[in-house]
Amino acid sequence: MSAKREPLLAITDLHVSVEGKKILNGLTLSVAAGEVHAIMGPNGSGKSTLANVLAGHAGYEVTAGAVTFAGADLFGLAPEERSRAGLFLGFQYPVEIPGVNNVYLLKAAVNATRKARGLEEVDAFDFLTLVREKMKLMRMDDSFLSRGVNEGFSGGEKKRNEILQMLVLEPKLAILDETDSGLDIDALKIVAAGVNTLRSPERACVLVTHYQRLLDHVVPDFVHVLMRGRIARSGDKRLALELERRGYDWVTGEAA
Amino acid sequence: MSEPVKESNRQLQSLLAGGYRHGFVTEIDSDTVPPGLDEDVVRLISRKKQEPAFLTEWRLRALRHWRTMAEPHWAHLKVASIDYQGISYYSAPKSKTDGPKSLADVDPALLATYEKLGVPLHERARLAGVAVDAVFDSVSVATTFKERLSAAGVVFCPFSEAVRTHPHLIERYLGSVVPYTDNFFATLNCAVFTDGSFVYIPKGVRCPMELSTYFRINAINTGQFERTLIIADEGSHVSYLEGCSAPQRDENQLHAAVVELVALENAYIKYSTVQNWYPGDAQGKGGIYNFVTKRGECRGARSHISWTQVETGSAITWKYPSCVLRGEGSIGEFYSVATVNDHQQADTGTKMIHIGAHTRSTIISKGISAGHGQNTYRGLVKMLPSAHGARNFTQCDSLLMGGQCGAHTFPYVEVKNESATVEHEASTSKISDEQLFYCRARGIAQEDAVNMIVSGFCKSVFKELPMEFAVEAQNLLAVSLEGAVG
């Protein structure tokens, strides 16, 4: 890995509140292209808040701090602009949109990004071929094309659908918010394989997770522990194993 | 309410403030009678139309009955009082004293109007294959595809022409589904209707093309009272499309139409409406009062009537396209999307009257409310004692956009036969911030996301529309909800 590069994502002293309650409290994090970061932490530590704020959810108030993404001020971009710039959020609870075809949404997403980049709309046939190929990887059958977005999907199907979208959109930075939760071991392996497919020197990934087990399959370069709205400890993959063994109280104890 | 929610509501309101795109006025001389309604006006209309005595008498009976009636106020609507003596009951473009013989004879200003509306008057236009009977302030100005239709024996012409060419059919069927005593607005229509469309499909004939009428209200202070009658003889098949729009005026305008459908044994009538009358401005000023009576009778065994409507316009919509299922095994369907935005109000739904044994009906209603709009579904499913083994399925879904609109559902069910089955499903949902955020997080702009979600919501109705209408309906929906939700 080259020495000092411009980070893809640079978060500096980020403070975020939800309905007046402070959730993130001076979080600083830098992610370079080619890296996979895991963010772990107990419930309520601010993991999902971080993911949602980065994607541009309106329910969060940024009270201080700065975030640059690919050199741009992230907070100057609307959610759709962030996506088109190459930021992807894999949702913890993907929402159902009844009546809207899964493949239709996916195509609209791809075309919105292409349009923003001055490209022509994707050829319908080529697109379908590409989606089918990625679906095979995610072990999803053709019925997923025409079903409503997440409509009636099981928890595991929803998560696989998120990864499918990620594979088709090929983001520069994927933030996966507890994509592993609620998955059985087979589904976990499929999801992990999907994430690994996209690993490359040009792309980065932030895995928000409770558990070490995803990290057996997607091995992170860095592991961070989030506590009370800031990063309490950083390390490599061994930190995740230690956390698994000793629990979050261990970090709390040390930090206190 | 939390700050982000307030903010998103504000965005919603501003996004909803889209303009009406058909609000232009055509400058042509009109032959308009002074405002007011009495027997002389009715006789004048009848004379102008060169109607036979039975029709003049029928109109006069309706007028006399109407005078005994009171305006109904049971709907969930706020209606400004209507001055029935302040309305002019007849308005015709002046230049056409003897009617245009072909498109070349039609006033170019009129044609330009249709052009703006996108009516496919020219025979090789976008919607090639659609025959248009265009009604412009009560008088049909052009009818296309006549030859091909007449080769198939199909009669498709302005109502006033049918009165002259097929008086026996008019006398037999007019008022046989919606009698002149039916309701306040229908009765008024019976007295003063000026024109409309007439369709007769002979026995066993499958109409070779979709039939289409485009209505438009143009002159100031003219009520529009069309009368449409469609008769599908035994074993015939017809699909009829009706599109509507009106120019932008500050005054409210009354539109009280009547549509009657008659399906004989094994006949099928599909009637699709895309209604885009002027809805009034963002403050609720002006707009069309759309008080319409639409009813079809499945008179013969195994006949089938299907109503599909997409209602995006009008200040007030008050209509219940209904089916009287008399023939054994006959089928009635109602598929509806009704949208209200700004200060629009809609009270719409259907009545399915099951008389015959083994009759079936399906009701799918999708109501979308935005701005300060009030949207009411009102439906009646009635199983008479004779309706052995009859079945109904009803599904009513409401979608709310923003916090200032309303959705209301009034399903009435009367079952007088124990073997009949009635099923009802209802739901109310909001376009959630989470759905919008999900789409936006995939790079889709907010407005496109709203359109996508709304179209998804309406999908089960849109798929019932003929192809060319489905596209128009989606576009209209996008315009009428322009910029909804934040």
Per-residue pLDDT tens for B412-430? Answer: 999 999 999 999 988 887 7
B194: β partners? none
Q: What is the pLDDT of residue A254?
A: 59
Least confident piece of the model among B45-49, B145-149, B183-187? B145-149
Please compute the mean of the pLDDT values over residues B285-312 and round it to a whole number. 89
Q: What is the pLDDT of residue B110?
A: 55
Q: What is the pLDDT of residue B13?
A: 43
For chain B, percent of residues with pLDDT exceeding 90: 38
Q: What is the pLDDT of residue B425?
A: 87
CB distance from A147 to chain B under 8 Å?
no
Q: What is the pLDDT of residue B113?
A: 54
Q: Which of A60, A83, A91 sits opposite B443 (nearest CB)?
A: A83
> Tokens 């659609």 — which residue?
B130
Select from B435, B443, B454 the least CA-distant residue to A109: B443
Chain A CB contacts of B433 under 8 Å are 58-59
Please compute the mean of the pLDDT values over residues B475-479 and round it to a whole number. 69
Please compute the mean of the pLDDT values over residues B320-336 and round it to a whole number. 96
Chain A CB contacts of B441 under 8 Å are 55-56, 79-80, 82-83, 88-89, 91
pLDDT at A111 over 90: yes
Tens digits of per-residue pLDDT, B427-452? 887 787 889 999 999 999 988 888 88
Q: Which residues in chain B (448-477) have CB-CB distances under 8 A to chain A?
A: 448, 452-453, 455-460
Please compute the mean of the pLDDT values over residues B111-124 and round it to a whole number. 50
Mutation target among B433, B438, B451 for the A interface, most CBs of A within 10 A: B438
Token pair, residue B363, equals 């009701």
Whole-angstrom Cα Rg for chain B: 22
Q: Using alpha carbons, list the distances in angstroms from residue B141 to A112, B25, B103.
A: 44, 17, 9
Q: Which of A80, A88, A165 sits opposite B445 (nearest CB)?
A: A80
- How many other CB atoms sit within 10 Å of the CB of residue B85? 9
Select from B190, B236, B246 the least CA-distant residue to B214: B246
**Number of helices and strands (H, E) in chain B?**
11, 23
Token pair, residue B106, equals 């039609």
pLDDT at B322 over 90: yes
Q: What is the pLDDT of residue A253?
A: 67
Chain A CB contacts of B434 under 8 Å are 95
Q: What is the pLDDT of residue B53?
A: 93
pLDDT at B138 over 60: no
Token pair, residue A75, equals 């907070």
Whether A108 contacts B444, CB under 8 Å = yes
Q: Residue B8 — pLDDT band, cuts 50, 70, 90?
A: very low
Whether B465 contacts B364, CB under 8 Å = no
Integer Cα distance of B229 and B251 in angstroms: 30
Count of residues making up chain B: 486
Q: Which residues in chain A (72-131) have CB-CB distances under 8 A to chain B?
A: 78-80, 82-84, 88-89, 91, 94-95, 97-100, 104-106, 108-109, 112-113, 116
Q: Which of A56, A108, A113 sits opposite B448 (nearest CB)?
A: A108
Q: Which comes out higher in pLDDT, residue A142 or B9?
A: A142
Mutation target among A23, A77, A80 for the B interface, most CBs of B within 10 A: A80
Least confident piece of the model among A79-93, A206-220, B468-482? B468-482
Please compute the mean of the pLDDT values over residues B471-485 and round it to a whole number. 66
Q: What is the pLDDT of residue B112?
A: 59
Chain B CB contacts of A60 under 8 Å are 4
Q: What is the pLDDT of residue B196?
A: 83
Could you tell me if residue B379 is left (phi over 0), alpha (psi between -120 and 50 degrees) or otherwise beta? beta
Chain B nearest CA to A98, separation (Å): 6
Integer Cα distance of B117 and A148 in angstroms: 33
Tens digits of per-residue pLDDT, B226-237? 899 999 999 999
| Residues 6+ away with beta carbon under 8 Å from A181 | A92, A209, A210, A211
CB distance from B440 to chain A under 8 Å?
yes
Q: What is the pLDDT of residue B96?
A: 41
Burial class (CB in 10 A: 0-12, 13-18, 19+), B257: buried
Residue type, A222: F
pLDDT at B186 over 90: yes
Whether B392 contacts B422, CB under 8 Å = yes
Q: How far apart are the first and last CA of chain A?
A: 35
Question: ipTM beyond 0.85?
Answer: yes
pLDDT at B126 over 50: no
Q: What is the pLDDT of residue B127?
A: 32
- CB pairs A-B closer than 8 Å: 93
Q: Which of B4, B444, B486 sits opposite A59 (nearest CB)?
A: B4
Q: What are phi and psi of B41, to 5 degrees?
A: -65, -45
Please compute the mean of the pLDDT values over residues B125-148 and round it to a whole number. 50
Please compute the mean of the pLDDT values over residues A57-76 and round it to a whole number. 93
Chain A CB contacts of B1 under 8 Å are none
Helix, strand or coil for residue A69?
Answer: strand
Chain B nearest CA to A180, separation (Å): 19
Q: What is the pLDDT of residue B219?
A: 47
User: Which range, A111-120, A210-219, B215-224, B328-337, is most confident?
Assistant: B328-337
pLDDT at B94 over 80: no
Tens digits of per-residue pLDDT, B232-278? 999 999 999 887 555 555 556 778 889 999 999 999 999 998 877 66
> Tokens 């009435």 — which residue?
B412
Give the number of C-alpha atoms closer than 13 A to the C-alpha of residue B75, restricted to the C-beta side.
22
> Tokens 């994509």 — which residue?
A179
Burial class (CB in 10 A: 0-12, 13-18, 19+), A43: exposed
Chain A nearest CA to B448, separation (Å): 9
Chain A CB contacts of B395 under 8 Å are none
Token pair, residue B154, equals 């199909």
Please compute the mean of the pLDDT values over residues B299-321 and round it to a whole number. 89
| Residues 6+ away with beta carbon under 8 Å from B474 | B451, B455, B462
3-state helix, strand, coil in chain B (%, to 5): 25, 35, 40
Please compute the mean of the pLDDT values over residues B160-178 and round it to a whole number. 93
Mean pLDDT of chain B: 79
Q: What are phi and psi of B317, to 5 degrees?
A: -115, 130
B374: β partners? B345, B406
CB distance from B6 to chain A under 8 Å?
no
Q: Which of B3, B434, B444 sits opposite A80 (nearest CB)?
A: B444
Helix, strand or coil for residue B207?
Answer: coil
Q: What is the pLDDT of residue A2?
A: 43
Q: What is the pLDDT of residue B122?
A: 42
CB distance from A55 to chain B under 8 Å?
yes
Select from B200, B197, B208 the least CA-distant residue to B129: B208
Q: Using alpha carbons, list the distances in angstroms from residue B144 to B56, B125, B134.
A: 29, 12, 9
Q: What are phi and psi of B249, to 5 degrees?
A: -140, 155
Chain B CB contacts of A112 under 8 Å are 442-445, 448
Pairing of strands B197-201, B287-298: unpaired
Q: Residue B23 — pLDDT band, cuts 50, 70, 90?
A: low
Mutation target among B399, B442, B461 for the A interface, most CBs of A within 10 A: B442
- How many other CB atoms sit within 10 Å of the CB of residue A58? 19
Chain B nearest CA to A70, separation (Å): 16
Mean pLDDT of chain A: 90
Residue of A nearest to B451 (CA): A100
Query: What DSSP assignment string belongs to B405-464?
Result: -EEEEEEEEEE--TT-EEEEEEEEEE--HHHHHHHHTTT--HHHHHHHHHHHHHHHHHTT
Q: What is the pLDDT of residue B431?
A: 81
Please compute the mean of the pLDDT values over residues B82-98 and round it to a whole number. 68
Q: Which comes out higher in pLDDT, residue A37 or B470?
A: A37
Q: Which of A58, A105, A149 sits opposite B7 (nearest CB)?
A: A58
Q: Which of B2, B4, B440 sits opposite A80 (nearest CB)?
A: B440
Chain B CB contacts of A21 under 8 Å are none
Contact A57 B437 (CB under 8 A): yes
Please compute the mean of the pLDDT values over residues A165-187 and round it to a whole number. 91
Integer Cα distance of B315 and B250 in angstroms: 11
